[in-house]
Amino acid sequence: MSLMTGLFNLLALLYIGRAVQLAVQVARNWNVVRQEPLTGEKQRLAEQAAFFLGVPPAVFVHELAHAVAVLAFGGQVAEFGYRVFWGYVVPQGSFTALENWIIALVGTLGSLGFGALLWLVLRRQESRTLQYFGLRAFRFQIYFSLLYYPIFSLFLPIGDWRMIYDFAATPILSGVTLIVHALLLLLFWRADRAGMFEMTAFDSAAGQAHFEATQTAADRGDPAARLQVIIDLWRGGARKEARRALDAFLADYPQSADGHLQLAIQATEGSPTIRKETYQAAGKALSLGLSGADRVALAYQLRGLYHLQRGEGAAAETELMAALMPAAHYDPDQTPPARRAELHHLLSQAYRRQGRYEAAYAEIDRALALAGELGMAGLAQKYGDERELIDKHAGRTARQPERNAAD
């Protein structure tokens, strides 16, 4: 236990340092933080604050609830430990099984109550950044109290939930708690999946105003406005709400090419590889007559990536060449230069996988030229690395006949 306590104290010190740093940052920029709109940067700041600034008072309330319950049942608090990011209460006295169960449970109720109260207070604020902080702090307290802490108690010899789920001492109460606990977790999962703990970020106040106007048009049934709202939600970080809205949109408009392209984009989220759902949705978008040079190029690019990640160079070449070759409905010259540069880069990979190194060199040189014209040093470095990789593969292939002859 002393080793565990020491580890908890060390983590708490590290967290306190970050909490102080974050508090100073928020205080110095308080007026900017409160100003509209809620930007992506402010989202990230609020996410950090939900833990580093929201947890310390929640821990205090949690331990205070334990202490109050102990005193209410005629006991004494032998020790009240508050370590900012963790704490404990050592009760002294004789308690019944029911009283022990209540003493253990009220800490969790205190944490949940604090999170709910913070959310209810801040949701009335005009600042969407403060609203978002309250929402995420509430979400964290739900997650910690109902999921993380019970699992923590299950695997370690300490924790309130060992007492709450002491079926030998309180079989009925523990059984009822298990049912309620499971229902609350289900509600939390559904609410989280529906995006109820998300808020949309905007680059500017004008962008937020435009979104609100688009939302009004979408509410009136304008399909183009509905899709634009979905795109804005996705870009603004409200990913789960965007996916739910897109599913509803495609149910109403299954022949929307742009809707299926958006599905392809969303299906890539959270995965290091291009999923089959992305590949199929991009193909569906193209088959439905997707328009717009950049959108068409993106659809082919996603399909090409799908094949590249599976080592299918020839299939990737077919998709990427379709993006770069003119068609009746598509002029690749209208594709933004950055997209064209990436398409040439990917096509060079497709050729390299087929051992067609001269073609690979030609494509990567086109990508490098476009990156140079755009003045994008990061892209130039990335494409330069690909050229070196082609050099290595080409060099090994040139030596291969000699090794075969020696054999």
Residues in Cβ contact with 172 at an 8 Å cutoff, skipping those fewer than 6 apart = none
Residue 2 above 90 pLDDT? no
Q: What is the pLDDT of residue 327?
A: 81
Better-predicted residue by pLDDT, 161 or 400: 161
pLDDT in tens, 183-211: 999 999 999 999 999 999 999 999 999 99
pTM: 0.84
Select from 188, 174, 183, 57 the least CA-distant residue to 105. Answer: 174
pLDDT in tens, 289-317: 999 999 999 999 999 999 999 999 999 99
Residues in Cβ contact with 137 at an 8 Å cutoff, skipping those fewer than 6 apart = 49, 50, 54, 115, 118, 119
Select from 249, 238, 239 the least CA-distant residue to 269. Answer: 239
Give Dmax over CA atoms of the chain in angstroms: 92
Dist CA 190 CA 183 (whole Å):
11
pLDDT, average across residues 65-76: 98
In the structure, what pLDDT confidence band is assigned to residue 1 with cuts at 50, 70 and 90?
low
Residue 331 above 90 pLDDT? no
Q: Read off the DSSP letter of residue 221.
A: T
pLDDT, average across residues 20-33: 96
pLDDT, average across residues 133-158: 94
Q: What is the pLDDT of residue 400?
A: 45
